[in-house]
Chains A and B, each alone.
Chain A
Amino acid sequence: MKHQSKFSPEQQHAAAHQTGQQPTHEFASAEELLRFDAAQTTVPPEIAERLKRTTGNAAPPPRTGWLKRFFRGTN
């Protein structure tokens, strides 16, 4: 983690408190709120299915030396 957050997700969760019957979530910053939102967001499986079709018949271009090292051992 490169950015320092005021609260960890665990601390954030623990900081949630009850106001009447409604839990209140507190976020130290906009990016904390966006991280929470991102965690609630799922990637539609249709994207991978579509990619599988569109890349299925196309051979990827030849790899550079760097990519060969990057993917070493995967073939």
Chain B
Amino acid sequence: MNEPVEGQAVTDKPSATGLSSEFGAIYDEHSHAIFYLALRYMGDPQKAQDATHDVFLKAFRKQDQFRGDASVRTWLYRIAINHCQNLCQSWHNRNVHSNADDSVWENSAARTDSPLRVLETKELGQRIQKSLDSLSDEYRLLLLLVADEELSYEEIATLVGQTADAVRGKLHRARKAFAAHFEKTA
């Protein structure tokens, strides 16, 4: 996908979604990334659908607050992350995740440098969701953001409020924890 840049006219072609051409172009460009983040972060297709709608509605209403010092994708991600984290707040209170749990996986002998092998893609989504759900919110979010090839480590760091070096270190541990859980779901 190509990121629209400042000064570049967005196509006047009507959006395939039927939304206005300007806002529709933004939706067409970024809705997949936002929906996938919401889906895998929260693990609930209906909540992800509602969240994606709400994120774009907020973006529509707050267009005047977009200063253009970040990419549209990053701006939408920021709204989405805040929205999903707020939705998950009550879940956190009921099901507190201990960092000690992560250390079990981080220190495990999982072969994280070897490829993740998948024999059957039919239930792959469920395996991925279970593995993501087993991670802390922070690790889950980092993995989902780094999976978006349009984001740089610096942009991810800005989104999560950490340094790029800290993000790299945590991603290493997140990958290891994910791989260990994923192997167990086979």
A interface list, Cβ under 8 A from B: 1-3, 19, 22-38, 40-41, 43-52, 54-55, 58, 60-64, 66-67, 69-74
Contacts and interface: CB of A to CB of B under 8 A. Distances in A.
A60 B63 contact: yes
Interface string B35-49: 110011000010001
A41 B39 contact: yes
Contacts of B182: 30, 33
Contacts of B19: 48, 51-52, 55
Contacts of B53: 47, 50-51, 54
Contact of B57 (A19, A35, A43, A55): A55
Nearest to B9: A73
Contacts, number: 157
A11 to B, nearest CB: 12
B1 to A, nearest CB: 11
B161 interface: no
A4 to B, nearest CB: 10
A26 B21 contact: no
Closest 4 CB pairs of A and B: A48-B17, A66-B68, A73-B9, A34-B147
Contacts of B150: 2
Contacts of B23: 55, 60
Interface residues of B, number: 61
Given A27-B115, A38-B36, A41-B32, A63 B63 contact: yes
Interface of B: 4, 6-12, 17-23, 25, 27, 31-33, 35-36, 39-40, 45, 49, 52-53, 56-57, 60-64, 66-68, 115-121, 124-125, 128, 143-144, 146-147, 149-152, 174-175, 178-179, 182
B177 to A, nearest CB: 9
Nearest to A26: B115
A22 B120 contact: yes
A25 B121 contact: yes
Given A2-B150, A37-B128, A30 B179 contact: yes
Contacts of B66: 64, 66-67
A54 B59 CA distance: 12
B170 to A, nearest CB: 13
A66 B8 CA distance: 12
A27 to B, nearest CB: 4
Given A19-B119, A38-B32, 18 more contacts: A1-B149, A26-B116, A26-B118, A29-B175, A30-B174, A31-B143, A33-B116, A35-B147, A37-B36, A40-B124, A48-B18, A54-B57, A58-B60, A64-B66, A66-B67, A67-B64, A67-B66, A72-B7
